[in-house]
Amino acid sequence: METDRLLNAREFEKQAGDRIGPEEKPAFHLSPRCGWLNDPNGFSFYNGKYHLFYQYYPYDSRWNSMHWGHAVSEDLLHWEYLPCALAPDQEYDKGGVFSGSALTLPDGRHLLIYTGLDRELTGMPGAEDMDAVPNQIQCVALGDGTEYEKYEGNPVLTARDLPTGGDPVDFRDPRIWRTEEGDYRMLCANRNEDGTGQLLLYKSEDGLSWQFVKVFYKNHGRYGLMWECPDFFLLDGRGVLLVSPMDMLPEGFEFHNGNGNLCLIGSFDRQTETFTPESAQAVDSGIDFYASQTMLAPDGRRIMVAWMQNPDCSTYRGALPWYGQMTIPRELEIRDGRLWQRPVRELESLRSGHISVRGITFSGECALAGVSGRRIDLEVTIRVTDPLNPYHKFILRFARNDRYYTQLSFRPRENVLKLDRKFSGTRRAVINQRRCLVRRPMTELKLRVILDRYSVEVFINDGEQVMTALLYTDQDAEGIMFYADGEACIDVDKYDLIG
C-alpha cells in the first residue's frame, strides 16, 4: 500500500496551509490547515496540551478520502497545527480513516481509535453495486502526540464482532473511555436489521483487544434513522448520551436539521452497564451543529466541540482554500435535568475594550456608541418595561452594513427567538432561519452572542439553550443595531475578542 499518502498529505498541507493568511480564517475557532474539515476526532488532553484531530481532506475544500488533521492548544482557543496524523495508507483502511476518539494508556502512549474503510470509496450505502461499498472496521494507532503508528493487530473490530443483524457497512465512530476500574469501554454506532441506529458496547483490558458486551441502546427509529458519532459520560450524577442522528423528523421546534443532534439524559446502572434515558432534547437549536465530541479536562470540566456545519446544507462560497470549522469548545453541565452549555471560560481572557451600557429604555431603533465588531462577545439582557403591555418584538442585528445583516428577533408573547441569516450575503436557497422556543417564560431574556469572522453562537439564558450558525458575510459588515416594536429596556456588555 502507498505509505506515501501520509507524507504527501504532510507536504501538501505545509505548502497550501502556509499560503492561507490568519486573517482569512476564523480567529478562535479551529478550521483545517487547508482543504476540508468535518467531525472533531480524538479530542483529549495529552502531555500538557489539548489535542483536537479532525476529519480532513487536505487537497480540496470538499469531502473526499478521509485523513485525520491535527491541532494542539493550551487554552482551547489558540490552535497550533501539527502534521496530519493519519492517512488512508493501509490495505484495511484505504477507503478512508473515519471518525474516532483518543485516550492515554498507562504507559504514556496516546491511543487513537478510528473507523477504517476497507475499500476505495467508489460506492456509498444504498448504491446499486453493494460490492463496491466498503465495510467499516475499527482500527488503532499509537503515538507520542505527533507521530502515530498504526497497530500491527489492526483491524481490532470487524464484521465478525457485530451482533446478529448488525450491518457491517454502517459500523463506525468508536468512542472510548477508561473505567474507574482501569479497563476500557467503547461505544460504536451501527445500523441494525430495522435499518435504524443502535449503539454497541465493547470492552477491553488493554485498549487493543476488544470484545462485544451488548447492544447498549437501540434507536428503533424513534430519533432519525442511522446514528453517528455517539458519546456517553456521567455528568453531575446523570448518564448523558450525545449522538448525531441522520434523517430526523422535526418535532415541535426541535430537530429541524435532518441530520441533527440529540441529547438523552437518564440513569446509568454501573453493575449492568444499563442506560435508561428519561429525557430528550436538542443539543443546539441553530442551523450548523453536528457530530459533537466531548472530553474530560484535567480540572474536571466536561468540554464539548462539534463540527459547526449542517451536513445537508453548505453555505460554501467556492472560493475558500479551506472549508469547515469547529464550534467554540463549550463547558457542559446538567441543571434542572437538562444539558446546559457555555463557552469555555478561557474565552474571557480574550476580552478587551469593554463597553457597558445599563438600563437603556427605547422603542424603535437604537444604536450604541462603540457597540460593533465581528469578533466580539456581546451580552444583552432585554426586559419588558410594562408586563401588562410588553413590547411585540425585539431585534438584534449584527454583521451589518448597508447591504447585509443577520438578526435575532424575540417575541415575548410567544417566547420564540428566531435566528435569520437570509441577508448575510448567501446567494443560495439554503436554510437561513431557525426558531427556538425559549424554555424560561420570562419577562427578561439574556443573550450571549459570540461572533467570530464566519460564525455566530447564541447562548440563551446562561446557556440553557444554544443556537449556532455560519455566516460568510463580508468582514466590513460589522455594525450592530437594536430595534424594539414597543418599549423595551436593555443592558449591554460588549467585548472585543482579540486573539
Binding site for ligand FRU (CB under 6 A): 38-39, 55, 66, 98-99, 115, 172-173, 228-229, 290-291, 311
Closest to ligand FRU by CB, 101 or 455: 101
DSSP string, 68-79: EEEEEESSSSS-
Query: CA-CA distance, 112 to 384, in Å (whole number)?
Result: 52
C-alpha R_g of the chain: 23
Closest to ligand FRU by CB, 229 or 492: 229
Torsion of CA 292, 295, 300, 301, to 10 degrees: -30
CB of 479 to ligand FRU, least distance (A): 35
DSSP string, 202-241: EEESSSSSEEEEEEEEE-TTSS-SSEEEEEEEEETTEEEE
User: Greatest CA separation found in the chain?
Assistant: 73
Closest to ligand FRU by CB, 137 or 480: 137
CA atoms within 13 A on the CB side of 74: 2
CA atoms within 13 A on the CB side of 233: 22
402 is catalytic: no
For residue 358, the tally of other CB atoms under 10 A from its CB is 10
What's the gap between Cα 107 and its chain centre?
30
Closest to ligand FRU by CB, 228 or 377: 228
Closest to ligand FRU by CB, 65 or 409: 65
* Sheet of 35-46, strands arranged across: 80-86, 67-73, 49-57, 35-46, 322-323
CB of 228 to ligand FRU, least distance (A): 4
Closest to ligand FRU by CB, 99 or 294: 99
Which member of 39, 167, 284, 420 is catalytic?
39
Query: CA-CA distance, 67 to 128, in Å (whole number)?
Result: 26
Give the active site residues: 39
